[in-house]
Structure 1
């Protein structure tokens, strides 16, 4: 009974484990089956996303294009501003010198014309003054030499003899020749010209933008084009055709697998029912054993009671024999089920799961001759170089990209697709067409140029200003007319003869009138002439030097400014080209890094393989093997259960039946009274 109870408990434990593992297989089958399409979809996404990612990377070429086009929108203004900034000190200085020279020219011309006019006026005035002075002198000489003249007549006579013109303005050099050479000068309005040139130069950024508008538009059209290599980045990628085939094959497999997976779930339901039924048979054996043991033990314990019934022991023995019968009846199906599940689960665990987990399965695939040539991974992907499945799996597990895993540098010339030298060369050629025309910046108009050339050849610096100064430094009249008139008034009062005194007074009044009307105006003209002569004398040499300097500087600038502007334009164009090339170079470096390190990471592939192994081995094979092991455990312990049940059932039967089964009728009659008498 003890061994039977222990065996029954072992059977009960095995049956419970079989129920649990059978249920676990059933529970894992549904999610595992549902995970198959998801795994196929992830693999399909990995395969189909590669061309799309490459195309998306190629489309990112629009980023540097947009940056370059944004800078092209302001390249004209930028170049014009650079030219204006670098040339403004030179141009402003030249315009300032032209403006200053124009003002000096105007002032000099005013002085020269005034000098000529004053000289002529003085000469005319001297011609009028000379007879009047001579008449006064002659009359005074006659009056002062009369015998009746009283007072200091001798002193007045000496002053009267000196009453004559001192300065002779007919001796000053003429400036008619210089004025003739400068006739019409200044023809140009220097102030307006400089202001116009200044406005033109300050508007250079806007003018440059307007002049470059057509070339900039052509540049934009050229930049908007995509290099052929970048455009064909996805098309030339190795395995593109294989990718399409694989993507279509995975899509067909995912679509076609759904009906079969539904069938798998349906048959799994049948298998679960069969497993439950067979486990229930073991449960019947366990129930029969436990019930038989309980009834048998109850029957044994009640035999000492005179009024006991032997039906309990008989029932216990029969339950045990029923369990034995169930054991014999279901032993064969159980053995067959154990063999089938062992054959499937054991081989899957040994041949597939263990080798899959250890990597031997990948090594098997790598070994030549184990797989047909058509199933070779390199052949399927269309690669030129064979790759190791195990190494590819390990690299994919680390998150490596397909470029590293498939060694695509041997099958795909990435640098050829990323070569944009022709694109940048064309951009450079187009930039050389940019031009800035500075012809509108005259600096010196033709009229102003003629004015300065006339001034330069006029000989204004060669005028004999010293001859003017010699006559200017002389008084108009050698004797001071005013003092002579006062002296005549004093002398007239000293005369005793009223007629002589009256004549002297009239001469004094005449001299005062002459002084006021003719001498003082001539002195004013002399002062004015002195102003003009000294101004021209001091400014004429500097004016000639400044004129020569301005003419040479303007000539030099008009010749060199276009070259300077062109040089600045080239420097700015090269800077713009360098920035544009840097944008495209950054894009190329980014594409190289994306393609070789990030795009098309095959980690989903290794993840799908790991998930497949988990689904097949951990979620299905392991509970499956546990199920057949528990079922085999139960089947194995059915044998001792049968033996112990048969042995135990003999002791549970009534004594009569036990004796009848082992002795003759006389033995039974002999023993029965003895047993009865013992009980009595």
Structure 2
């Protein structure tokens, strides 16, 4: 389906806007449809002559015939012969055939002269007045003998080459004649089958509309879901981003409220524990310092300096209050954000199902439009005007087939006789060649053994006899050879120059087209039903260029294939229905009024205005400036080294009280400080970006809520436009394929021109070319028999041994020897 590759259509896209522009769903996938080869059984294969080794010979023969026949097509002579045969004068025929008459005259002279000359030589030789043998050898005879032998050898080789070409051409004619006749008959039958099968072929081509129809119906079954899925896919980015932003801000609200509450409770606990710790540490510090300053206390100096640090390091009363912020956030969130987000997500995610439900009716209407398009396509076959106008062509083909069938049957019979005659003629020439070669071989061998008189005599006589035998064959059969050459030359040459050349140049078509050249009963244009504005030549050229039969036949009503294959004729309703289709959606609410109020309250609550730096500063300060646990360990160690038991007991008691303070108060305060630090860190991280994040969230939600209906409409229009282009593309592919099938296959008139070209190829290139190569090769052999006879007769004398003794003083050629008497060969 090479034609389909030229008709592939890619999906295009309509830009939505800079933010949402995208390609049609399906990307750039090419549209491909596979159609049945409906015209396979109606095609006429074009014949071509296969190039071969005889092509140079064919060109040589063509050049020779161009010199023989230089006259143009004899239009006046043919006109007279066809319209009024007696009026065709002999002088006109002779004038046109002047070149052939010259060649025929030469052949007649050859035909008469060769037997007479052969008879004369025979009589002359019988009375011993010519021929014979060399009486005596001379030095000059050496060059003469060599010249004659070389000339005879070259002439023989030329004749051998000619007879080989004649054998090959004769066999080529035999190989092409019967297949050519069969191919010619098959071409007529195929052409008749093509003409008669046009209605069925058109119907089969029209029925192939089922291929795009089924594809379009499959697409219609999925179009609503695909449109909804595309809308969901394109818009889910901004919608999900807005919903995620809202989820994050709601989570921030809940977390902030939670951490602010922790912050309030933690600060309250810390201040309470701070007040208790402050009084306890103050009392314990005084007692410990008094014990350590007691003179009885040994090794107490270092512990005294550490005990001086038993006082508060952080003042949690300085932490800023958060009650105002908590009061602002009290009762939040009032809106049910979880349900709100769930409803918005469900509404957006149900787009494919909702669009499929809304498009159900239009999909059914579009399927009905496809049924109407099927009826319109069927109208192409019903209104196709060819079937009723091909009857003249069909009748002419039937008549031509019936007339030619008996002749084609006789071709094999007569071709066998022609081939036998050609083989016999070539065999005779080959026998002459063999005689010449054997004569030269024996003669040459005899000259090399002249020292042996007996061998010299026998070989020389044998060579001379073989040459004379070849001469006898030449005289006996040359007149038959020239007769065969003349007959085949006149037939093949005239077919080539009168028919083939003018057939190839379309001169024959122009002759037929010229008014008055053919009898009224042979008005081919009228018989074939061609348009009045056309003739055979223009119709042939249009058919060769791929025109349809309806473009060359004379139809009652004008028929425009372009109008019947217009895409809009079958897709106008389909496109208009989709262009007029609209879908209305209720607005998707991502954030309702309560939710907006909650987030606005959160934004204005002041959570981002709390002095978190003060929190961080106090959190970094230690609860007690020195380590209570360290002082307790120092006191416990000192109690063990004191000599005064009372002092030691007091130190141990103070150490125990410090351990109790560490476990009961300080460790609890550390946990509270850790909780405070975690909440402060969260709020400190969240608060600086709170305003920006809430504003961004509101912008996204507002953008989605405002633009979502518009974007849905744009994407819907884009997807439907893409769908229309895709489905129209399928129909366009089919109509283009149908146009190609009708004009180039099913209802094409190209098979008519192909049949005419096949006839010329079969007759001229496959049969006439080797036919002419045969007579040309055989004619060359026949005419080269003349120098062959002359050189053979003259060479014979040099091959026969002499009878007399010759005396010489130096030359090898005249060395004295005796040869017994040998009876001379008589013709």
TM-score, normalising length: structure 1:
0.49
Q: Which has the higher helix share?
A: 1
